């Protein structure tokens, strides 16, 4: 999964996509570019490959700057390793990024300050098989970002605002088996 940040006309912006309504899982949801690892691929290689396949982002256009805390999902039992990168040139991207597969309906550049406007973020507590869990939501002008994507955006904002240094919140224990967690990048 690629969390790509770029210098935009209104400050830092993050790249998101809306998944196609034709998808079997998570249809119509806002997400980061990304997907499953191909055999022999690193998490970074997979994130860059998926972003290129999904929206036409050439790997040479980005500089990988680090990782966010990996997150396990309890619904799809996925382990997500968020690769953080920055676009080497300011927006707009030339050529313009667009959905290149049937997985992507829309490409969005969202200013980080839009995610911090009053009334944009909310948290609900949902009962799950693992007990009560916080579910995050970002209500944008024309999209709702929620679930894992919202958790990753929340984490990205905490890092961007230097609030995550002593954060225990992201020591995710959603997988009981340590063998399921990825090796270091």
Inter-residue contact 72 to 152 (CB < 8 Å):
no
- CATH number belonging to the domain at 2-167, selected among 3.90.79.10, 3.40.190.10, 3.40.225.10, 3.60.21.10: 3.90.79.10
Q: How far apart are CA 45 and CA 31, in angstroms?
A: 18
| More confident of the two residues 111 and 75 | 111
Residue 169 CB partners (closer than 8 Å, separation 6+): none
Inter-residue contact 2 to 50 (CB < 8 Å):
yes
| More confident of the two residues 112 and 24 | 112
Query: How does strand 131-139 pair with strand 144-146?
Result: antiparallel
Provide the pLDDT confidence category of residue 161 given band limits of 50, 70 and 90: confident
Average pLDDT, the chain: 85
Q: Greatest CA span in the chain, whole angstroms? A: 46
pLDDT at 108 over 60: yes
Question: What would the mean pLDDT of 116-144 be, rounded to a whole number?
Answer: 93
Q: Tell me the per-residue pLDDT of 44-103, one tens digit each, with 9 for 90 and over.
A: 999 999 999 999 999 999 999 999 999 988 667 789 999 999 999 999 887 899 898 788
Report which of 78, 50, 96, 59 is spatially closest to residue 174, judged by C-alpha positions: 78
pLDDT at 37 over 70: yes
φ, ψ (nearest 5 deg) of residue 13: -130, 150
Domain ranges of the chain: 2-167
Determine what percent of the chain is predicted with pLDDT higher than 70.
Answer: 83
């Amino acid at each position: 999964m690629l969390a790509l940040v770029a210098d935009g006309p209104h400050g830092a912006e993050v790249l998101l996509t809306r998944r196609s309504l034709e998808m079997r899982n998570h249809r119509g949801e806002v997400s980061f570019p990304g997907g499953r690892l191909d055999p022999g691929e690193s998490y970074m290689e997979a994130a860059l490959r998926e972003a290129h396949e999904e929206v036409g982002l050439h790997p040479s256009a980005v500089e990988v700057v680090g990782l966010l805390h990996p997150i396990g999902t309890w619904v799809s039992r996925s382990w997500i390793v968020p690769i953080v990168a920055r676009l080497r040139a300011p927006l707009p991207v030339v050529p313009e990024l667009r959905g290149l597969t049937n997985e992507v309906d829309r490409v969005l550049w969202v200013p980080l300050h839009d995610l911090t406007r009053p009334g944009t973020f909310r948290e609900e507590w949902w009962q799950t098989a693992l007990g009560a869990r916080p579910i995050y939501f970002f209500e944008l002008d024309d999209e709702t970002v929620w679930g894992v994507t919202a958790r990753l955006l929340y984490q990205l904002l905490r890092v961007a605002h230097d609030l995550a240094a002593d954060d225990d919140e992201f020591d995710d224990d959603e997988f009981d088996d340590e063998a399921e967690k990825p090796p270091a990048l």
